[in-house]
Structure 1
C-alpha cells in the first residue's frame, strides 16, 4: 500500500496580509470627530451651606486632644481628638470591647452590636447614645441627619451633633473596635462642653468627658484656609 502525503506549504512562508484601513466617516476622520462640542455653560454660584451641615471643605483644622469618656476592664469609649474648624468641630470617637468568657455566638452578637448603625435620626436609642451639654445649658444628641429633615432652619442656632461618614473598624476573636465621627455646631469656645455617652446593650453606663472651651479656642487659632484672597 502506497501512502500519498500532500505537500502543504507552510503558512509561515506567506507574508502577512496587509490590513487596509477604510475611512468610513471621511478621510482620516475618527468616529468621535463627528460630534459637535457642547456649548459652554455659564458658571453657577454655589449655594452656601449652613454651618450645621458639616465641616468647611476649604480649611485645615486645628487639633485639640481628647481623653477617656468611659473606661472599664473590658469596654472603653475614647475621644481620640477634636478637629477644630472656624464654624464647629469634629469629634473623633473610638469604642472597643475586649472579649471575656463569651461563647462564639455571644461574641458574634457583641461584634454585631458594636457596628452601631442607628436606624434614623429620630431613633437615637439604638447602639451608642452620644450627646453634648453646652455651658449655657443647651443640649444635643447625635443624629444621622441635620435639622433640615424636620424643622425650619432659617433662624436655627443649634447646637447640632451630626453623625458623619468615614467611620470604620476591625474585630477578631479577642476584641472589637470601631470609630465614629461627629460634627458639633457651633464651636463651643465660651465655657466648657460635656460629652456624654451611654451604651446599654454593652453594659456601658452614662459616662462623660469635659471639653474645656479654652482648649478649643486655642486650637481655633491654628485653623488655616486653603485659599487666601
Structure 2
C-alpha cells in the first residue's frame, strides 16, 4: 500500500461539447467529401526566371479548388535584394508604404466566365482592416479566393504553393483564369479552363458518410 493509494480524486465537472462550426458553402469546400481530381497542367506564365502553373482542380459538389505552384530563380540580385524578394514571395499580400498599398507587390488573380461575369481574389479592399461581408451573408456573385499554402527558398531559387477556391461550380464554357504579379516580373497573363469539364466532374464526388450529418 502506498501513501496516496486512497487519495480522493474529484471527478471533473461535465463539459458541454463545443458546437462544430460548419462554414457556409461559399466559404470553403465541404469537409466530408472526396473530390475527383481533374488534371490541368498549364503554365499561367513562364519566363527564364519565374514560372506559375495550375497543376490540377479538385472538384466538390459546391465548387472547386485549383491547386497551383510558382517558382522564382535567382539571377543577378545581391543578398539584400534577394532577401527583400523572399519576403514578398512567401507573403504575396500588399506591402504597406506610408500607409498606402503597393499594387506592384500584390499577387492578383481573376476569373472571367463565359457570360462576361468577372470575379477577383485581390480587390484591394480585402486587405483593409474591417472590410469584407459577414461569413453568413451569401455573396451576390461568384467567390474566387486565393489561399497561400507555404513554400521554401534558398540561395538559388524560391518555390511556393497555393490554392484558388471557386464557388459555385462554374458553368459550361470557357473560363479565363488571369494572374498578375508585377514585383515578380509577371505581367497580366491567362489560361483557359473548360468549365463544362469541371462541372461534369462533380458527379464523381464521393461522400465520406451517407448520413445527413456527415454530408455537411
Which bin holds the TM-score, normalised by the shorter protein? 0.7 to 0.9
Of structures 1 and 2, the one with the larger relative CO (CA 8 A, separation 6+) is: 2
Match of 1:3 in 2: none
Greater C-alpha Rg:
1
Contiguous gaps of at least 5 residues in structure 2:
96-100, 212-216
1:227–1:157 distance in 2 versus 1, CA, 3 Å? farther
1:106–1:190 distance in 2 versus 1, CA, 3 Å? same
1:82–1:71 distance in 2 versus 1, CA, 3 Å? same
Match of 2:76 in 1: 101
Match of 1:81 in 2: 56
Match for residue 91 of structure 1 among 52, 66, 73 = 66
Residue by residue, what CA displacement relative to the aligned partner does 1:165-201 show, whole Å, maximum 9, x if unpaired?
Answer: 6x11111121111111221111103322111100111
Root-mean-square deviation (CA, aligned residues, Å) is 2.8
1:36–1:92 distance in 2 versus 1, CA, 3 Å? same
Contiguous gaps of at least 5 residues in structure 1:
1-19
For the residues of structure 2 that align with 1:212 and 1:226, how far apart are their CA atoms? Answer: 27
1:156–1:103 distance in 2 versus 1, CA, 3 Å? closer
More strand by share: 2
Match of 2:214 in 1: none
Whether the aligned pair in 1 keeps the contact of 2:94 and 2:106 (CA below 8 Å) is no
For the residues of structure 2 that align with 1:214 and 1:137, how far apart are their CA atoms? Answer: 16
Whether 1:194 aligns to 2:194 is: no
Match of 1:161 in 2: 144
1:208–1:39 distance in 2 versus 1, CA, 3 Å? same
Whether the aligned pair in 2 keeps the contact of 1:75 and 1:98 (CA below 8 Å) is yes
Residue by residue, what CA displacement relative to the aligned partner does 1:28-63 show, whole Å, maximum 9, x if unpaired?
Answer: 4344x3x2353474x787565321110100000111
For the residues of structure 2 that align with 1:79 and 1:202, how far apart are their CA atoms? Answer: 17
Match of 1:225 in 2: 207
Superposition TM-score, scaled by structure 2 size: 0.78
Match for residue 26 of structure 2 among 33, 52, 64 = 52
How many residue pairs are counted as aligned between the two chains?
198
1:46–1:106 distance in 2 versus 1, CA, 3 Å? closer
Whether the aligned pair in 1 keeps the contact of 2:26 and 2:138 (CA below 8 Å) is no
Superposition TM-score, scaled by structure 1 size: 0.74
SS of corresponding position for 1:201: helix
SS of corresponding position for 1:107: helix
Whether the aligned pair in 2 keeps the contact of 1:124 and 1:142 (CA below 8 Å) is no
